[in-house]
Amino acid sequence: MLEKAEKRRGTAAGQERTLNYMPGFGNDFETESLPGALPQGQNSPQKCEYGLYAEQLSGSPFTAPRGTNERSWLYRIRPSVRHTGRFRRIDYPLWKTAPHIVEHSLALGQLRWSPLPVPTGTLDFLEGIRTMTTAGDALTQAGMGAHVYVFNADMVDDYFFNADGELLIVPETGAIQVFTELGKMDVEPSEICLVPRGTMFKVTRLGEEQVWRGYICENYGAKFTLPDRGPIGANCLANPRDFKTPVAAFEDKETPCRVQVKWCGSFHMVEIGHSPLDVVAWHGNYAPYKYDLKTFSPVGAILFDHPDPSIFTVLTAPSGEEGTANVDFVIFPPRWLVAEHTFRPPWYHRNIMSEFMGLIYGRYDAKEEGFVPGGMSLHNMMLAHGPDASGFEKATNGELKPVKLDNTMAFMFETRFPQQLTKFAVELETLQDDYIDCWAGLKKRFNGTPEGDWS
């Protein structure tokens, strides 16, 4: 089934493009961009229609259980062996991979940054990626990298795939088109998209912004999936029908192109004479997708107390240890606060998980000052955090009537591993040296009486 077509304005004035999507999470999809290109009843005919080549893209071991076995059959103009050749090493010096531990002078603590500066030169999506933290070990397929990106130019004849992990892309400013082997996705701020490990793609700009900026979680471990709902039951949170997988689309161009690969933390490039985005038809369950964060259906307290932030998990990458994620992707969307006799913002806490946060738009209720769209914060494992002093005062003394938190969308990449800072993050000019001072106004209110000192 095809989802209703969406229209997005292109990079040229007046240009519009319409894309179709297939709804569902983890479905077995089939799609073709030319009639009859998709074989029926078998995967690998002796001769494919249109002179295409059959090829399987596997996202799991061949013998993985049916419920976790992922693969797609691609029918393409050239097999992928023609999209490679004699690689040469290249470098993206600001994109780092775990394990990456550097000596630096920045002491342990809670950290926050303002947005990345606008680039002064010309950068495409790959050139604009900067790693803030790494965690775990990509070589053992555990952990993650937290990146930010800022760019102002299209990938036209450059293509990329990441063998180290899947990429969860979170735009903050500027809509983008992510053209993958399996189809195109137009992704706006407040939407996310995921490019599976090993999938070829390129990124171009949509609209007429001055800069395109956002965040990336590079997940080295088990793929992101929907969290179990437990007692919540069958509905709410991120509903499977709201995930959109692209239909088949391809480029048939014979011009000088470059394929770039990230493999075990190193980068390689090969020049070829054609586009590698040449999949005319495909079927399977290993595929990119996008998701509109505004369709997340939050649940929460309807009488008293603030639930654990895990109630806002959109996607989770399991670690193998039950209940402990390799990575969680958590959001804090618009919602009603109705709890009575309750401190409504997130409570003060220390946590075994390490939290990298970003803000897509609006204000975050626990940090109304200093944490701005495009900014970032890091609260590593067992470091205390919670509402700033002004947020505490507002929540403690405010009238406990129903209040809607509106025009806000914050998120968190949360991992079981400590997040190690990169040299870039330590030296970034937007690091807020005074972040720790946001809690300085939390004064002692204990005076030995049950009433305390609330003056």
Write out the catalytic residue numbers: 306
Question: How far apart are the C-alpha atoms of 439 and 111, rounded to whole Å?
Answer: 13
| Dihedral angle of Cα 35, 41, 43, 46, to the nearest 10 degrees | -80
Question: How far apart are the C-alpha atoms of 383 and 354, rounded to whole Å?
Answer: 9
- Give the CA distances from residue 54 to residues 14, 42, 72, 394, in Å, rounded to whole numbers and listed in that order: 38, 11, 10, 61
Indicate the residue type of 89: R
Strands (E), 324-448: 324-332, 335-337, 354-362, 376-379, 403-405, 408-415, 420-421
Task: Residue 90: name the closest of 154, 165, 160, 180 by CA.
Answer: 160
Question: How far apart are the C-alpha atoms of 159 and 273, rounded to whole Å?
Answer: 12
- Roughly how many angstroms between the first and final C-alpha of the chain, as a whole number? 62
Indicate the residue type of 415: T
Task: Residue 269: name the closest of 123, 89, 423 by CA.
Answer: 89
CB count, 10 Å around CB of 15?
A: 10
| Dihedral angle of Cα 417, 422, 426, 427, to the nearest 10 degrees | -170
